Structure 1
Amino acid sequence: MEFLIGLTGEDFVLVASDSTAGRSVVVMNEAYDKTFKLGDKVMMACSGDPGDSVQFAEFVAKNVELYRIKNGYSMTPNAAANYTRHQLAQSLRSSTPYTVNMLIGGYDEYDGPSLYYLDYLASLQKLPFGAHGYGSYFTFSILDRYYKKGMSKAEALKVLSLCLDEVKKRFIINLPSFNIKFIDKDGIHETSLQDIQAS
């Protein structure tokens, strides 16, 4: 019952994930961060089986950091997305596949902002916006209608607010809180729903 959403703007990527950790009909934690840092300007949001998503995300994050230490520079968002896809594809062909869906967002000084959609079957696609989970059933129509290329941060926050309001109103499961992060040329920044409502 998880929900991830991301969209690219003029010079940033906005990624949000619900912060509920649950099992069956029990909510175990309402302040769980489903995002993982892959560099100063690259971030991955994961959903899926809780054990798989944490283990796979930490494996990728540590190997991306090892790459930075060995080579002296970080992976670009494109390189991190393709590395992650390769690891997921290898696990899919092994006896222990991971059931993980991801959004990988980042900023590169040459290519600008980018968002990658990666599912548990290791299909990778660069998109202007994307979503995973049941919440995507309610939000793709809003993103199709209101998303426009080169949006400002204020415009992106308004579109995100529309999406989150729709999920809270229409989805049978309560998702009360979200982790919302911007990735731009200055790094990864966290914001909140209160900041959205104030703007």
Structure 2
Amino acid sequence: MSHPSMDDMNLNAPHSMGTTIIGVTYDGGVVLGADSRTSTGVYVANRCSDKITQLTDNVYVCRSGSAADSQVVSDYVRHFLHQHTIQLGQPATVKVAANLIRLLSYGNKNMLQTGLIVGGWDKYEGGKIYGVPLGGTVIEAPFAIGGSGSSYLYGFFDQAWREGMTKDEAEKLVVKAVSLAIARDGASGGVVRTVVINSEGVKRNFYAGDTLPLWHEELEPQNSLLDILAAGGDGPAPMNE
């Protein structure tokens, strides 16, 4: 039996966050959520990446698509918002952050392959979510979903999201939705990370993969051989020549 070559597995492909990213508004703020799998072809290059990136003290962005593209857009926007905050003497609004991402994404739409969700809280408009999909348009919405896993979630969100949710209800919805996408989407996986942003500040939460609910025909999590070896456990005996 011949083994697949490196070209067959597409291991030289760009790092891509075939992803599930979510932003949800609730009564008082927003919850952002994401899985943690970064792929290179069929190879999982990073199983615990952090796709929710801080732009300012009160605004974060969820990144999907090309890892490199989303990182460079976030870096530029963070720099511009820092200058903007110094000039104004007060924090940037969520709308300003989303508009800067729109300008960069639209102005470079032929070169960038990244979809982003901007979420945050400011004293003027409260919690806001903006989706900036491929091409660079900007869409304000009570919730936004993106990445390859979002295909499985549109009907679920139409049914499950409602206005006036509490913080806990919104976060439970985000974690459930990401775990549903992980169950169906091969490019989504790992852990679930959330960021809650409101008038009190920012709180990050982490949900390990083996604590997530299992859905239809999903297999129980298995220990990785790498984890067993790193822990010094009794791994498989080496083969003798």
Q: Secondary structure at the match of 1:175?
A: coil
Shift of 1:71: 2.6
Q: 2:101 aligns with which of 75, 84, 87?
A: 84
Q: Secondary structure at the match of 1:68?
A: helix
1:22-33 matched pairs, under 5 angstroms: 22-33=39-50
TM-aligned CA distance change 1:173 to 1:52, over 3 Å: closer
Name the counterpart of 2:53.
Answer: 36
Shift of 1:150: 1.3
Percent of counterpart pairs with the same letter?
Answer: 24
Distance 2:206 2:122 in 1: 24
Name the counterpart of 1:145.
Answer: 159
Considering fraction of residues, name the structure with more strand: 1
Distance 1:142 1:25 in 2: 27
Q: Deviations over 1:131-180 (max 9, x none)?
A: 11121111121111111111001211232233123223222345021221
**Relative contact order higher in (CA < 8 Å, ≥ 6 apart):** 1
- How many residue pairs were aligned? 193
Query: Does the CA-based 8 Å contact 1:142-1:162 persist in structure 2?
Result: no
Distance 1:161 1:17 in 2: 8
Query: Does the CA-based 8 Å contact 1:56-1:98 persist in structure 2?
Result: no
Query: Does the CA-based 8 Å contact 2:20-2:178 persist in structure 1?
Result: no
Q: 2:174 aligns with which of 153, 160, 165?
A: 160
Name the counterpart of 1:18.
Answer: 35
TM-aligned CA distance change 1:80 to 1:47, over 3 Å: same
Shift of 1:39: 1.3
- Please tell me the residue identity of whatever aligns with 1:83: L
Q: 2:111 aligns with which of 80, 90, 97?
A: 97
Name the counterpart of 1:66.
Answer: 83
Name the counterpart of 2:120.
Answer: 106
Query: Does the CA-based 8 Å contact 2:114-2:134 persist in structure 1?
Result: yes
Distance 2:179 2:88 in 1: 44
Distance 1:60 1:3 in 2: 22
Higher Rg: 2
Q: Structure 1: which 4+ aligned runs deviate by more than 2 Å?
A: 168-174
Query: Does the CA-based 8 Å contact 1:180-1:191 persist in structure 2?
Result: yes
2:72 corresponds to 1:55: yes
Q: Superposition RMSD on alpha carbons, in Å?
A: 1.8
Q: Secondary structure at the match of 1:160?
A: helix
Structure 1 residue runs of 5 or longer lacking an equivalent are none
TM-aligned CA distance change 1:172 to 1:20, over 3 Å: closer
Structure 2 residue runs of 5 or longer lacking an equivalent are 1-17, 213-241
Shift of 1:73: 1.7
Q: Secondary structure at the match of 2:153?
A: helix
Relative to the length of structure 2, the TM-score reads 0.75
Query: Does the CA-based 8 Å contact 2:35-2:188 persist in structure 1?
Result: no
